[in-house]
Structure 1
């Protein structure tokens, strides 16, 4: 068991919601707009980052409150120990500032990754393979963070150093070499860690994919295309040598912010972007399941799957449930009706959602 005694206060259309007695499979059933995905989004805020919708915190606060919101949950990491109480909330005076508590003590959002790993699959992710390279980098970073909580620190510090270097490059005055040396040293240090984390993750996911059957889900082939040297000394030298070109462009042209995740369907040698919608969905599910196997090692693991079962045929749906059982993750699924979940109905906790209110079924 991972999360239980989950509470939502003034979160989107949930004024006061509580979910108790959770299980391995947890189903949220209701009409579109009832508030099912809002529950998943709230749970996703127990991971570092902006949640599964990447929405601003102020947008998440319910109109029934004072502008703040609160989400709480009890985490059972070890059955022989007392549960850990997690809290993620904002205050009305600072609606854009996220606050986190663990057992009543304030801590950083990044530290949540040390307690549990959370992954998700939403309908918006269906266009991942045809979306921008930036969207795929965020996808990789989210998966890397679920495996290594320190990944977020390197990403944050790299982005801060990148903004500073770009500011210096776009200044009308010639920046001092010493300033650029210092900023580039930070870029190289954290960029190396960031790129190595991404490359290592892709390699491990490919190893997991090799152990999974290729049917009924398509088996994708993933490769990591680095946007610059991965070794720290090489990246520092490349940044230094590229200053003239970067200054002409007013931005940094090499580095992990130019990385790309390349995906193809194994056996067909066809880019995922050129595959059918059904094939893309199948490959995305295969990646999520392979990553779940990795993330489940060492920490409690959650999978949030929004409207995934209804779009699968019975054979793929049954295979998905079997793999979810084997993943070791606590799974949260949404749907408009119970019929697609008949195979797991008896082992699942089920709530019917209507206008932001939940009723146990």
Structure 2
């Protein structure tokens, strides 16, 4: 795992950072590297790296384990987080080699088997995530074959019990070693571990007992979901085998950036421009919110960078009641093109205020230039 960066370094935080610090760092970086916003070649890879770091550090149990062991997870052999297995069969193969099958741990090849979980990435517009959305999606998933009802055999026929393993799905191989006679148990080479032989295979599924189908699933995205959220739909994954339950479907939410609003938790932020006159004299301006336009009173003498809060105009709380707030930052815009009359009026204003314009201070700049020249 030497090629993996430290998760704290990825998020740009200290090891003792609070949960809120972790969340804030993740949201900032996720917006920066989101593939819908950042078109750089490495943006998607960095986005995934940030998401992986957040998934571990935001979970208290995973974080404690990471703090102690780093990327080397002792519970997963040498695989680390997201990591791997110990060889093909893991430690069970080692026990089987030395103890002849592990005393009753043999898996029944004909037992019901749960279907695989599936993942679907859903991209939402900013306001769709704020207010929620309902939609139908088509999911390709594995289901039991309707022709053979999952048996894999041609209709009118039945699978036969394997003559080598007698339906157990495993065969024993005896080896003579310097330590004595060893018995190794492995998947039956005749039936592939199924315990059955299909002589006449179903023409629909080619003997597998399952087929790929497009299944329509109705999704209800709750109001207030944020980028990176996951929705779990029980039983909407791959169908189970031999009567086993279906797996689950996980919907991963990706939220597009908005041109005007930024989001921090349940609060939203925006910037609005003010003219010098509006900031100096005060004004009442219209501010867009998520649902409507509202009036905002600007006091006289407002400075650039001042924030105003619109209570309850933020994002609906996903867990709980009410909504967050909207924070409005005002930025005083300096005009780039002025008429002669406007310039004269500003000079008059500057004189009345006791200020010195650039033209009046020209002698100062001349002195500074001469100092640099060494005159």
Please give the TM-score of this superposition, normalised by the length of structure 2.
0.28
Higher relative contact order (CA 8 A, sep 6+): 1
Q: Which has the higher helix share?
A: 1
Q: Highest CA radius of gyration, 1 or 2?
A: 2
